[in-house]
Structure 1
Amino acid sequence: MDLDDICDIEAVSRRTLEAMTERIRASRSEEHFIYREAELDQIWRIIGARAEEKRRDSQARRDLAALQKAVHQAHDLIGLNPQPIAAAGVLRQALASFDGEIDL
């Protein structure tokens, strides 16, 4: 896990989000936090795109909206006053409450 690089995220899965929580927890420098924010931005965009594709499946849209909200909260917790443990906790809690398999 190289924290000094931005991980290019092309798809989101449970494994991706679990790895993201570990990257966040291990991050220590301001540069690391900026990189994690960029990675969370990409995850947020992917989830949003998939939610749009699920227009007719209201439960899937709600689940994805909740997951997207958690990603946004984690992003904010890494922002100006970095709280990596709290940010990772938000993602872990979202994963625990997400019933379906995540493969976006």
Structure 2
Amino acid sequence: MIDSLMSVSTRNALSKLSETVGSGAAIAPATPAAGEASFGDVLSQLTGAVGDKLKAAEATSLSSMTGDVPTREVVSSVMEAEQSLQTAIAIRDKIVQAYLEISRMQI
């Protein structure tokens, strides 16, 4: 699911970031304290939750074709999935924007 949310430019920007940090840069990656989730784990959970909502909305809309699910429930499910997807896209855009801002900083 994460591949469908990330555009090519986003993947390129994130891969450049990981190459910069991994190539002996002075920045040491922060490790989370015991019991805390890392930023990557939080993003993984976010994309998983968005994927689950999209799958549920699709299943609900397919069930409505057979008449098993009322239209109101289909609309609610699709709207919730759309809102989750828009939130995930907004977060992705903010992450890319922050990376680009950091890459423009002079060292």
Q: What range is the shorter-chain TM-score in?
A: 0.3 to 0.5
Superposition TM-score, scaled by structure 1 size: 0.37
Higher gyration radius (CA): 2
Structure whose residues are more often helix by fraction: 2
Superposition TM-score, scaled by structure 2 size: 0.36
